[in-house]
Structure 1
Amino acid sequence: MKWFFVSIFAFLAGHMVPGMFRRQLVARLGSTLYLFAFSIISIGLLVWVIGAELQADYIALWPYDPRAHWVPLVAMLPVCWLWVAAIRQPCPLSIGRARGYDRTHPGINRFTRHPLLLGVFIWGCAHLFPNGHLAALIFFGGSALFALLGMARMEKMRLRHLGADEFARLSAGTRRFDLAGLFNGGLDWRDVLGGIILYGAILALHPLVLGRDPLAF
């Protein structure tokens, strides 16, 4: 369990420290290089955490129930829609690009300003059901909590960077979470199709990358 906790600490530090010095790093590296470097570091740290979680001691917290596998199987399709929308559509107040945002057509921001983080939150919560052991609780539960707290943190960062007037202008017509917005222009057919493709890719790669087949239960 030692290296699992070390990887968790490194993952958190790898997200918090760059955020503390984001303005200075962007000024020195430029926004594109900063985002590229941050993404590569984040992916590398996430791979380390996942590998450490798979190797951690199994300390059971609740009994295993095969029916619980249906929870992530069902939940991951809307999660994939959110992740594709976060990549495709501008999200000026969260993780994602701001370029091209039209506040008269907020798109996914009408449903949630934080599609990527909301997806991570649902992903983490859903994967807790079939994984009732300590390392999974820390990994998936911690990821869900990290994403939930990250929504407020991202908005504070954007408020500090943009100023109150610009933040208010961009946030008009957006919501942290509003289910009605999902059926009012939040997603388009490309988000839906891309999400289905991503969902299929995750199902196919899951046993190859992680050694666990989501369909074998």
Structure 2
Amino acid sequence: MLALILGLILFLGMHSVRLFAADWRVRQIDRLGLLTWKGIYSVVSLVGLILIIWGYGQARLSPEWLWLSPVWTRHLAALLTIPAFILLAAAYVPGTHIRARVGHPMLLGVKFWALAHLIANGTLADLLLFGGFLAWAVALFIVLRRRDRQTGITYPARGASRDLIAVVLGLVGFVVFALLLHWPLIGVRPFGG
């Protein structure tokens, strides 16, 4: 469990530096140079991600159950994961109405993903992993939306075709991940079997 916690601290911490320690970040970039900073950022994030994956896998070997979720929550989790994939795609398709409306679709997608998995999973490791990502995404979303309003940042939409592209990419991503990748990568079949 310690590896999971340390991984979450490293990964989510590095992904929060720009918002919660912006001055320190600027000083480090000035001192080290942008490329060195990006290298450190990438290495720390990768180490954090590896620790999260390894720590979560280890915790699943001897789970500490906090609650048992009914079977129907797996279906709800799958349903909630669909908008997560669409929002993730919208974060990378420029000019969507989705981005214009929510500002930071990837963080909203992380919230959907984390909430979906919290509903369907009830171990301490699940609470740490998905609860940690949910709390991080909520806090970051609030800070970024507030910053957007204060600085007048908007995200212009370029047409409905961009949203259609994001929706199609998101749906394809969901189907591929749920049916082909979730089992080999995570060890769980979202739709049973």
The bucket for the TM-score relative to the shorter chain is 0.7 to 0.9
**What's the CA shift for 1:22?**
3.8
Q: Could you tell me how far apart the structure 1 residues matched to 2:117 and 2:65 are?
A: 15
**For the structure 1 residues 2 and 37, does the alpha-carbon distance in structure 2 shift closer, same or farther, using more than 3 Å as the test?**
closer
Cα deviation per residue 1:116-137 (whole Å; 9 max; x = unaligned)?
0000011101101221111101
**For the structure 1 residues 2 and 148, does the alpha-carbon distance in structure 2 shift closer, same or farther, using more than 3 Å as the test?**
same
Unmatched tracts of structure 1, length 5 or more: 91-105, 175-180
Amino acid at match of 1:107: H
Q: Please tell me whether the aligned partners of residues 58 and 133 of structure 1 are also in contact (alpha carbons under 8 angstroms).
A: yes
Q: Could you tell me how far apart the structure 1 residues matched to 2:54 and 2:27 are?
A: 32
Quote the residue 2:111 is aligned against. Answer: 121
Q: Could you tell me how far apart the structure 2 residues matched to 1:116 and 1:63 are?
A: 29
**For the structure 1 residues 23 and 152, does the alpha-carbon distance in structure 2 shift closer, same or farther, using more than 3 Å as the test?**
farther
Q: Report the TM-score, using the length of structure 2 for normalisation.
A: 0.78
**For the structure 1 residues 186 and 117, does the alpha-carbon distance in structure 2 shift closer, same or farther, using more than 3 Å as the test?**
farther
- Given candidates 138, 144, 160, the residue that maps to 2:134 is 144
**For the structure 1 residues 35 and 84, does the alpha-carbon distance in structure 2 shift closer, same or farther, using more than 3 Å as the test?**
farther
**What's the CA shift for 1:186?**
9.8
Q: Please tell me whether the aligned partners of residues 5 and 128 of structure 2 are also in contact (alpha carbons under 8 angstroms).
A: no
Give every structure 1 segment of 4 or more consecutive aligned residues whose post-TM-superposition deviation is greater than 4 Å: 24-27, 33-41, 155-159, 184-187
Quote the residue 1:200 is aligned against. Answer: 175
Aligned residues: 184
Residue 66 (str. 1) matches residue 71 (str. 2): yes
**What's the CA shift for 1:2?**
2.3
Quote the residue 2:187 is aligned against. Answer: 211
**What's the CA shift for 1:44?**
4.8
Q: Please tell me whether the aligned partners of residues 107 and 185 of structure 1 are also in contact (alpha carbons under 8 angstroms).
A: yes
Quote the residue 1:7 is aligned against. Answer: 7
**For the structure 1 residues 65 and 199, does the alpha-carbon distance in structure 2 shift closer, same or farther, using more than 3 Å as the test?**
same
Moved more, 56-65 or 34-43: 34-43
Unmatched tracts of structure 2, length 5 or more: none
User: What's the secondary structure of 1:141's corresponding residue?
Assistant: helix
Structure that is richer in helix per residue: 2
Q: Report the TM-score, using the length of structure 1 for normalisation.
A: 0.70
Percent of aligned pairs sharing the same letter: 25
**What's the CA shift for 1:113?**
0.8
**What's the CA shift for 1:157?**
6.0
Residue 107 (str. 1) matches residue 89 (str. 2): no
